Amino acid sequence: MTTRSIQTSPQLYARFGGALYLLIILFGAFAEGFVNSKLLVPGDAAATARHILASPGLWQMSTLGNLLVVLCAVPLLWIEYLLLRPVSKTLAMLAVLLNTVSLAVEAMSKVFLLLVMPTLENAEYGQTFGVQGQAVLANLALRSHNVTFNVALIFFGITCLVNGYLIFRSGFLPKLLGVLLQVAGGCYLVGCFAALFAPTLADHLLPGILLPCLLGESALCLWLLVKGVDSVRWQARLCRNQQACTLAQV
């Protein structure tokens, strides 16, 4: 990976990107899907606190999974830029900037998850606020995570719209993948704005509206992992861009 450049081995980069995407989906499904549905009780801070304290190892694994999602997403961001840059360097860089903001906010959101267990286990907090007060403080950390995570997904949703357009125009990836990714981006935007500003509407939309997101991202992940990119068309697109840059400089 370090000795070959993207120009000579786009397929290697594509498959590595697909592997990273798969890890992100698996870690996210474990943390947000399996663990949260098992331990978190909506509207009941006390029950949530009891569940987390009863399964501290599971909660810590979930938090670690959330952090690994962000760590895997950083190199994936760069791989997506390298693969899609031949389509439009400007739009590919825009996607990088949007995704960077998304990952920065998402990383910050994980700090709130790291505060949950220390808050529940802190004896001084228990003496000062009582068991119920501790549960409320931990619930505040969880709610803060949800808010910041939704903000992060808004930027990620716009990233999906841009990357989806680039994939659709690329010629070296199926147009359908681009459409699915743009649908995913739109669903992220609707779902997250609803969660932040229209909770009643969000109760009706979620989690169903996130299914197209899972479909679009899973499709792109599996295609990159199994098929990669059409190397001949990718190289041709790269050459056209380089020739255009050369002519512009003459």
pLDDT for 245 beyond 60: no
In a domain, 120, yes or no: yes
In a domain, 136, yes or no: yes
Across 13-17, 66-70, 111-115, 124-128, least confident range = 124-128
In a domain, 195, yes or no: yes
- Contact between 40 and 142 under an 8 Å Cβ cutoff? The reply is yes
In a domain, 57, yes or no: yes
Across 66-70, 174-178, 205-209, 242-246, least confident range = 242-246
Please report the pLDDT score of residue 6 as a whole number.
76
How confident is the model over 178-192, as pLDDT tens digits? 999 999 999 999 999
Domain count, the chain: 1
In a domain, 104, yes or no: yes
- Nearest to 119, CA basis, from 107, 133, 98, 102: 133
In a domain, 1, yes or no: no
Please report the pLDDT score of residue 173 as a whole number.
97
C-alpha dihedral sign at 112, 159, 190, 39? negative
How many other C-beta atoms can be found within 10 angstroms of the C-beta atom of residue 117? Answer: 17
Long-range contacts, stretch 145-148, CB < 8 angstroms, 24+ apart: 145/109, 145/110, 145/112, 145/113, 146/195, 147/196, 148/105, 148/106, 148/108, 148/109, 148/112
In a domain, 66, yes or no: yes
Angstrom distance (rounded) from CA 116 to CA 111 = 9
In a domain, 93, yes or no: yes
Please report the pLDDT score of residue 13 as a whole number.
95
pTM for this structure? 0.92
How confident is the model over 37-66, as pLDDT tens digits? 999 999 999 999 999 999 999 999 999 999
Domain membership of residue 14 as a residue range: 10-249
